[in-house]
A and B are shown apart, each in its own frame.
Chain A
Amino acid sequence: MAGETFTAYALVPAIAALPFAAFLVSLLFGRYMPKGGALAGIFAMGGSLAISIATLLTVAGILPGDPAYHETIWQFATGIDTFDLHLGVYIDPLSALMLVIVSLISFLVFVFSLGYMNDEGETGLARYYASLSLFSFSMLAFVFADNILMAFMFFELVGLCSFLLIGFWFREDAPPSAAKKAFLVTRFGDFFFLIGVVGIFATFGTGLFANVTRDGSTVQSFPALAEQMMNGQTPAMASDMLDIVGMSPQAWITVLGLLVLGGVVGKSAQFPLHTWLPDAMEGPTPVSALIHAATMVAAGVYLVARMYGFYALSPTALAIIALTGGFTALFAASMGVVKQEIKQVLAYSTISQYGYIMLALGSGGYVAGVFHLTTHAVFKALLFLGAGSVIIAMHHNENMWDMGGLKDKMPVTYYAFLSGSLALAGIVPFSGFWSKDEVLFEALIHGAGGNPLFLVAWAMGLLAVFFTGFYTFRMVLLTFHGEPRTETAEDPHGVRWNVKFPLAVLGILAATVGFINMAPIAKLTNLHIDFLHTWLGGSELVAEEFGTGLHHYEVLLEEVAGVSAAYPIGGEVTTMLASAAVSLGLALAGAGLAWSLYSGPEPVEHTNKLGGVKTLLMHNYYQDEYQVWLARDVTLPLSRAADRFDQGIIDGIVNGVSSVSLLSGDRVRRIQTGVVSNYAALLTLGLTILLVVFGLVGGWF
């Protein structure tokens, strides 16, 4: 689609290339540079942000250019068969939006790091900024990837960067262990993802997300080919693959979708592969903000949105996504209720909130899912950076029971954090309210439209709203309200502009970013203010030519997956308002309960009243225990048994055979006493005899 005239699209590869350059600069020269190479990263991310915004404006039609863009940038491996293994760029409304989110959050995290890392006398800054830059590079390249192989590649690199950053403080015991766990658990998910990628290539011959034009002809994407397969027009290659696996097109598409979902569940920390995420709090707090809001965890759900045209073909896969999401939302929120460390509460809230995004995507709410991804990116980055500011103030003590009364000592942090908390809890008019409400509304109407499984997922998501309201305000009250409970909290360490600036930006955004899609107001007033809906709809070109975008997905959802809407309470408007009222009511009830329990000057722990349930929640439902058991008490003993078998039986046979053969026992010992030249002579002799024998047999002489 590259035109003759210059467009912002020509610069898109630089969005990832700039942070990569910053990675090299920080890695090689960081230790000789002021601020440990931070400035390279800040400038690079600033550049990426500017190009991302220009890209967004081009997609929007404000800057000149087409509304979508594809370019192949690198041929990866050329085979004699038709597999299309390349790296390329695909820009559409979804990727353009995500690029802005990622580069914005990354930029703010770099600035915040000046306060969190540099001001605290940290060593290893060059390594820190190099890893952080590599992290941004990997995620940005993942976002604009035009095919699933490239997506997988950068997905894995994101995993590497999380390993490097979670384990940043490698001289202690816990961070390297947490880093290992994060990589290993997500690798387990990626194992399924890789089977899915390979399966998709083996079936369709391509991993393209969108139909593209190459050398004048159209190359179809794998979702488009899958759609044709569902309509009975199976390409030859796919039909060979269906014969091999012996499945119907419908079943095979579901299997492939679920395999890819393995990677999503791992990276987006969904049940049962969520266990790495709370441990990942061992990393520096700005890294947590980046991982949770904009990079690693977001990568999983973004992938579902990116290949939504494929998932929309499989009602089974959709139902599993919705149920996983709904269950995870509730499951994680319940654990957040009893945690004592501020970052642990936030960790479980991340798992829970990504559950909502999965719930939305699974139940046919594509816009709602992307909307919640956007708002969550903003308010969760804010909450982590706010927590980081509190942790600086508290001299790196993270226990909320040692805090209290910080409200008056750090007002900027407090008001920003409050803005983020209101958004997280889903209180009107903060951003989280609009997106969470839309998630639940979509799940409700599509469930009522004949998918009872969506209703189950919806009910779990709805119940989780109450828990969210509760744990969020328990956290706010314990941290900022009441009387200071320790000396550190009485006299907190001050923070500077580099901490306050990102907090202020994000604080304002957390309050306002929900206005991009006020669906209830739009319905009520008939004004076209559901901008995100319009945005993701894209132009006709995107839907027809590239085969991505909301309009196309809506058709697929309805015609192929059989997802339709029904309005259980009166019409659309009344259902929407009722749904909003119920979720807001639950959020307020949760917040109110927290207020009634923890608002005094000297709050006390009430979680003991939960009795055995508290033990269960503190132990995270024993999810870690069984996974550690699988690794330590099943796999390791198995490997040791294999080792004993190998040493004893297999090698035993080898040694046994040799001890009855010529070169054995005494003879070997005698030979070993010889000098080097004897060996050489012996070997030459052996070889000669061998050849002579065969020469005689073969009648050569």
Chain B
Amino acid sequence: MLVELLIVTALLSSVLVMLAPDEYAGQFAAALSLVPVAASLWMYSVFDGSGNALLAGSQPAFETVAEWITLGAYTINWHVGLDGVSMPLIVLTTVLTTLAIISAWTPIDERQSQFYGLVLFMEAALIGVFAALDFFLWFVFWEAVLVPMYLLIGVWGGPRRKYAAIKFFVYTNVASLVMFVGFFALVFGLGDSISSLGLPAIAQALNAGELGSLAGIDPPMLKLLAFIAMFGGFAVKVPVVPFHTWLPDAHVEAPTPVSVLLAGVLLKMGTYALLRFNFTMLADVARANAEIIAIFAVVSIIYGALLALAQQDLKRIVAYSSISSMGYVILGLVAFTPHGLGGATFQMISHGLISGLMFMAVGVIYNETHTRMIGDMSGMADRMPVTAGVFVAAAFGYMGLPLMSGFAAEVLVFLGSFQSEVIQAAPLFTSIAMFGIVIVAGYLLRAMQKTLFGPFRLETDYEIGRAPFQDIAPLIVLLLLVIALGVAPDLFYKMIQDSIAPMVELGELGGGA
């Protein structure tokens, strides 16, 4: 019942905040959002799930199965539950939502109650995405995330918000459609061997090789086509190059708190879905095409980093660097080794915190200066020493400084992918991917040198002073979380390892083909 409690609390909070007067909406929303934070942390502390929720022999924590709707031959259940992959993502979602709400107090100055209401509504949907174990339920939540995000960008965004919001919505919705088609090809191919749309049932049936032909397409071909459709669909969300161009536009136009959630949590929907669908249900296809997937990963890492290097807008830099960081997740997943899969999952959490931190830091500077262009300012550290200090710490976190979570995630991915026997020439792929750590240092150091250091200069006519405490506080909290996870990755890594362990050998013998 605890998962339901989380979702209902967030939904109820959303409604209450929508009804609240604008002037108190921010504080009210933050206070209400503490309930899911506390609940998810408590769930984390009593977490007793074992195994991978989609695979045999597992026992998800906080599981509920209730018959809900019957559609033709299929039963649709209200089925939620958490394993070691989804539990950390739930904690990430609740914590980041609260911090994003606080960071919105300064920049959001109109229609606050609607803004915070939508944020909380999105939180409910996000929790649902990570907790749902039935496809229908999962898809409802998946689509439900798009609506508030579309509105948050389209109403509270920058000058080109309409274009960015439409682009985001159309692009990701088309992707959902493609994924949907691919998934249902599998469902129909499975025929009578499944009686519900439960994700575990489907995953286990596929891995047991129960897929039949559909419309004259052989099972292996059907699997491949479904894999491509689902990979393409999720790749837009992640995003994987070349499906990434909606991301910079969305980030640049979105207000800071929305960027925090977009980069921090929404991108993880894509990698989470890849892990659940492509790499669990169709692991044999993933293995057979590991090199192609690894090429997508490496191109995302290097090309994304090069794009970040070319940007002049601080927010665009962070946006493009997300593409690079998510490439590590893909590389880790396709390695099919314990540290590869585990590191990839850990990177989802770590990147959620660090990119949130970076976007907030850029946002604090923007709040004071009303510009994000590198050429418009220099020497900000003179006027905003604390903000600059946190910015430097965040940037080094992004560069993978040891004892911060990014290093743990990246080094685990590298350890896992270097020795992968699934990817041919894995050491070569891994080594090229590692060059990302040099480029990321290049663009972040350059950005810091130009904006934070040197003689003070500001092109915009704003009197700038030290950022208010409410702007800095969420940054400090995130920084401490990043350090805590960097010093003790085991806080999440143990449960992650437990859940990805059954995936390591998945599809190895071609059992599903």
Q: Could you tell me which A residues sit within 8 Å of B by CB distance?
A: 74-81, 83, 149, 152-154, 156-157, 160, 164, 167, 170-173, 175-177, 179-180, 183-184, 187-188, 190-191, 194-195, 197-199, 201-202, 240-241, 244-245, 631, 635-636, 638-640, 642-643, 646, 650-651, 654, 658, 661, 663, 668, 671-672, 676, 679-680, 683-684, 686-687, 690, 694-695, 697-701
Residue among B151, B167, B402 making CB contact with A152, cutoff 8 Å: B402
Tell me which residues from 154 to 192 in chain B have a Cβ below 8 Å from any Cβ of chain A. 154-155, 162, 166-167, 169-171, 173, 177, 180, 184, 187-188
> A686 — which chain B residues lie within 8 A by C-beta?
173
Other 11 A-B pairs with CB < 8 A, given A650-B244, A651-B245: A76-B408, A80-B501, A170-B453, A240-B421, A639-B310, A640-B310, A642-B303, A642-B307, A650-B242, A658-B167, A676-B151
B370 contacts partner chain A, Cβ-Cβ < 8 Å: no
Q: Are A156 and B170 in contact (CB under 8 A)?
A: no
Contacts of A695 in B (CB 8 A): 71-72
Q: Would you call A201 and B490 a contact (CB within 8 A)?
A: no
Q: How far, in Å, is B316 (CB) from chain A's closest CB?
A: 10
Closest chain A residue to B409 by CB distance?
A: A77
Nearest neighbor of A245 in chain B, beta-carbon distance: B427
Chain A CB within 8 A of B81 CB: no
Chain B residue nearest in CB terms to A190:
B437
**Residues A173 and B454 in contact in the complex (CB < 8 Å), given A194-B414, A643-B311, A683-B146:** yes
B245 adjacent to A77 (CB under 8 Å)? no
A672 with B242: in contact, given A81-B339, A245-B427, A680-B151 (CB under 8 Å)?
A: no
Q: Which residue of A lies closest to B342 (CB)?
A: A79
Is B430 located at the chain interface by the 8 A CB criterion?
Answer: yes
A167 to B445, CA, bound (A): 12
Interface assignment of B441: CB less than 8 Å from any CB of chain A: yes
Instruction: List, sorted by A's number, 15 A–B pairs whose CB atoms are closer than 8 Å.
Output: A75-B490, A153-B403, A187-B441, A191-B435, A195-B430, A195-B431, A199-B418, A631-B442, A635-B309, A639-B306, A643-B311, A650-B244, A686-B173, A690-B180, A700-B73
- Determine how close the nearest CB of chain A comes to the CB of B95; give it in whole angstroms: 21
Using Cβ atoms and an 8 Å threshold, which residues of chain B touch A680?
147, 151
Q: What B residues does A643 contact at CB under 8 A?
A: 306-307, 310-311
On whether the beta carbons of B72 and A700 are closer than 8 Å, the reply is: yes
Q: Which chain A residue lies CB-closest to B76?
A: A700
In the complex, A191 Cα to B303 Cα: how many Å? 18
- Is there contact, CB below 8 Å, between A663 and B497? no
Q: Which residue of B has the minimal Cβ distance to A170?
A: B453
Chain A interface SS verdict (over half): helix
Distance to closest chain A CB from B169 (angstroms) = 7
Q: A198-B430, A244-B421 are in contact. Are A663 and B170 (CB under 8 A)?
A: yes
CA distance A669 to B38 in the complex (A): 44
Q: Which of B73, B454, B489 has the most CB of A within 10 A?
A: B454
What's the nearest-Cβ distance from chain B to residue A363, in Å?
A: 30
Cβ contact within 8 Å between B401 and A690:
no
A80 vs B337: C-alpha distance in the bound complex, in angstroms?
A: 10
Contact between B411 and A198 (Cβ–Cβ < 8 Å)?
yes
C-alpha spacing A648/B277, complex, angstroms: 33
Is there an interface contact between A170 and B418, defined as CB atoms closer than 8 Å? no
Complex Cα–Cα for A673 and B327 (A) = 37
| B416-442 interface with A by 8 A CB criterion | 418-419, 421, 426-427, 430-431, 434-435, 437-438, 441-442
Interface residue tally for chain B (C-beta within 8 Å): 86
Asked if B401 and A160 make an inter-chain contact with CB atoms under 8 angstroms apart, the answer reads yes
Known A184-B441, A668-B166; judge A78-B493 contact (CB<8 A).
Answer: yes
Inter-chain contacts of A160 with B (CB < 8 A): 396, 401
Does A77 contact B493, Cβ atoms closer than 8 Å? yes
- Which residue in chain A gives the minimum CB-CB distance to B308? A639
Return B446 CB to nearest CB of chain A, in Å: 7
**Residue from A170, A180, A676, A698 in contact with B155 in the complex, judged by beta carbons closer than 8 Å:** A676
Across the interface, name the chain A residue whose C-beta is closest to B493: A77
CB distance from A237 to the nearest CB of B (A): 8
Give every chain A residue within 8 A of B438 (Cβ-Cβ): 184, 187-188, 191
Asked whether any CB of chain A lies closer than 8 Å to the CB of B74, the reply is yes
Instruction: Tell me how far the C-beta of A683 lies from the nearest C-beta in chain B, rounded to whole angstroms.
Output: 5
Given A79-B497, A187-B441, check contact A202 B415 (CB 8 Å).
yes
- Among A74, A191, A697, the one with the most B-chain Cβ atoms within 10 Å of its Cβ is A191
Q: Quick check: A171 and B173 within 8 Å, CB to CB? A: no
Complex: A698 Cα to B191 Cα, angstroms:
10
Instruction: Find A639's partner among B72, B242, B309 (CB 8 Å cutoff).
Output: B309
- Other-chain contact of B143, A156, A171, A636, A687 (Cβ < 8 Å): A687
Kindly list chain A residues whose C-beta atoms are within 8 Å of the C-beta of B493: 77-79
Which 6 pairs, one residue from A and one from B, show the smallest C-beta to C-beta distance?
A153-B402, A176-B453, A700-B72, A643-B310, A700-B71, A202-B419
- Chain A residues with CB under 8 A of B73: 699-700
- Tell me if B105 counts as interface (CB < 8 A to partner A): no
Residues on B with C-beta less than 8 A from A187 are 399, 437-438, 441
B466 contacts partner chain A, Cβ-Cβ < 8 Å? no
Tell me the nearest residue of chain B to A155, going by C-beta: B402
Contact check: which of A170, A176, A191, A636 meets B434 at CB < 8 Å?
Answer: A191
CA A177 to CA B453, docked complex, whole Å: 9
Residues of A close to B435: CB separation below 8 A: 191
**Which of chain B's residues have a CB closer than 8 A to the CB of A668?**
166
* B166 in complex: contacting residue of A672, A700, A701, CB < 8 Å: A672
The CA-CA distance from A631 to B443 in the complex, in Å, is: 11
**Across the interface, which residues of B come within 8 angstroms of A152, CB to CB?**
402
- Tell me the bound Cα distance from A201 to B399 in angstroms: 22
Contacts A191-B438, A676-B155 given; does A636 touch B449 at CB 8 Å: no
Q: Decide: A78 and B494 in contact? CB cutoff 8 A.
A: yes
With A77-B412, A153-B403, A191-B435 given, is the CB distance from A698 to B72 under 8 Å? yes
Shortest C-beta distance, B140 to chain A (Å), equals 8
B243-256 contact mask (Cβ, 8 Å, vs A): 1 or 0: 01110000000000
- The answer to whether B407 touches A654, judged by C-beta atoms less than 8 angstroms apart, is no
Instruction: Please tell me if the beta carbons of B147 and A177 are within 8 angstroms of each other in the complex.
Output: no
- Report whether B338 and A172 are in contact in the complex, using a CB–CB cutoff of 8 Å: no
**Is the pair B449, A201 in contact by a Cβ cutoff of 8 Å?**
no
CA distance A643 to B245 in the complex (A): 11
A75 — which chain B residues lie within 8 A by C-beta?
A: 490
Whole-angstrom CA separation of A639 from B302 in the bound complex: 10
Shortest beta-carbon distance from A265 to chain B in Å: 15
Expressed in whole angstroms, the minimum distance between the Cβ of A591 and any Cβ of chain B is 41
From A245, A654, A684, A695, name the one whose CB has the most chain B CB atoms within 10 angstroms. A654
**Docked CA distance A683–B438 (Å):** 42
Residues of B within 8 A of A241 (CB): 419
Query: Is B381 an interface residue when CB atoms closer than 8 A count as contact?
Result: yes
Least distance between B478 CB and chain A CB atoms (Å): 18
Distance in angstroms between the alpha carbons of A558 and B331 in the assembled complex: 43
Q: What CA separation (Å) do A643 and B493 show in the bound complex?
A: 36
A654 touches B245 (CB 8 A): yes
B233 sits at the interface (CB 8 A): no
> Please, which residues of chain A bring their CB within 8 A of the CB of B454?
170-173, 176
Residues of A within 8 A of B138 (CB): none
Please give, as numbers and ranges, the residues of chain B lying within 8 Å of A76 by CB-CB distance.
408, 489-490
- Cβ contact within 8 Å between A635 and B442: yes
Kindly state whether residue B348 has any CB partner on chain A within 8 Å: no
Across the interface, do B455 and A171 meet the contact criterion of CB distance under 8 Å? yes
B360 at interface by CB-CB < 8 Å? no
Residue of A at shortest CB range from B174? A661
Q: Is B452 an interface residue (CB 8 A)?
A: yes
For the complex, is B150 an interface residue (Cβ under 8 Å from A)? yes
Q: Quote the shortest CB–CB distance from B334 to chain A (angstroms).
A: 15
Establish whether residues A149 and B411, one from each chain, have CB atoms under 8 Å apart when the complex forms: yes
Nearest Cβ in chain B — how far from A578, in angstroms? Answer: 47
Within the complex, the shortest CB–CB distance from A466 to chain B, in Å, comes to: 38
Q: Are B188 and A244 in contact (CB under 8 A)?
A: no
Give the residues in chain A near B26, CB-CB below 8 Å: none
* B356 contacts the other chain (CB 8 A): no
CA distance A83 to B438 in the complex (A): 25
CB of B456 closer than 8 Å to a CB of A: yes
Q: Which residues of B contact A77 (CB under 8 A)?
A: 408, 412, 489-490, 493
B85 → chain A, closest Cβ, in Å? 14
